[in-house]
Amino acid sequence: MTRATRPRALFVLCCISALVVVAAGCKSEAKQTGAAAPPPANLAPDAAVTPDSGVAERPNWKAALANPDDALELARLAESEGAAGLMVGLEEGGATGNVAMLALPYADDAEYAMGRLAEILEASPPETASLVIDAIEGITLRPVTQTEPRDPLGVHRAFDALSRAAANKELTAAVRARAVSVARLIASQRPYDPRGLPTEFDR
């Protein structure tokens, strides 16, 4: 993704984030009709990639896929793709989605992905929830480079999703404790009330 096309991609990503917020408002109605939100892509590294957009065949993605623990390669991927491009790979799942999740905290505009990450966290199985929490934490820890938040609604949704994960007894104690920690981190930067978070993990 070139810098020239990034503004349009960011506009599309913001629209998606707004639609996610609207969809959340219809959640209770969906429950009454028996409808369910589509599950997130399988982020396990060995999962099948679907749908296949072909991003994994691009040189920048190949380099990151070959070295998923290399922070420099992840940063290069984030710089070239931005949040919008990384989200395309994320939706594929498998190794591609895994690398996209790892690269998101390195993207300058990563906050635009927070709303979607919140949605993914709420539908993630226990084995991949920690990966999503790590991405949200990494984005939250990024230095603030602009005077106004890029996507305050998305960040608020991430805080809410973390709060629910912290109370989810289907997750391990370690993952729930991480959710509490990251939710408190967000609350330290934004006007969100952390008093409803579980305190059982405090020491």
pLDDT tens-digit profile of 148-178?
Answer: 567 889 999 999 999 999 999 999 999 999 9
- Residue 109 and residue 83 in contact, taking contact as beta carbons nearer than 8 Å: yes
For the segment 178-184, the average pLDDT, to the nearest whole number, is 97
Q: Give the pLDDT of residue 39.
A: 57
Q: Give the pLDDT of residue 82.
A: 95
Dist. CA 13–CA 121, nearest whole Å: 18
Helix boundaries (H) for 50-192: 59-66, 71-92, 94-103, 114-123, 126-140, 152-166, 173-189
- What is the pLDDT confidence band of residue 97, given thresholds at 50, 70 and 90? very high
For the segment 93-121, the average pLDDT, to the nearest whole number, is 94
Dist. CA 190–CA 143, nearest whole Å: 14
Those residues whose C-beta lies under 8 Å from the C-beta of residue 126, and which sit 6 or more positions away, are 170, 171, 172, 175
Q: Kindly state the tokens that stand for 184.
A: 């408190």
Q: Give the pLDDT of residue 151.
A: 87
In the predicted structure, residue 101 carries a pLDDT above the cut 50: yes
* Cut 0.85: pTM above it: no
Of residues 157 and 28, more confidence is placed in 157
In the predicted structure, residue 75 carries a pLDDT above the cut 60: yes
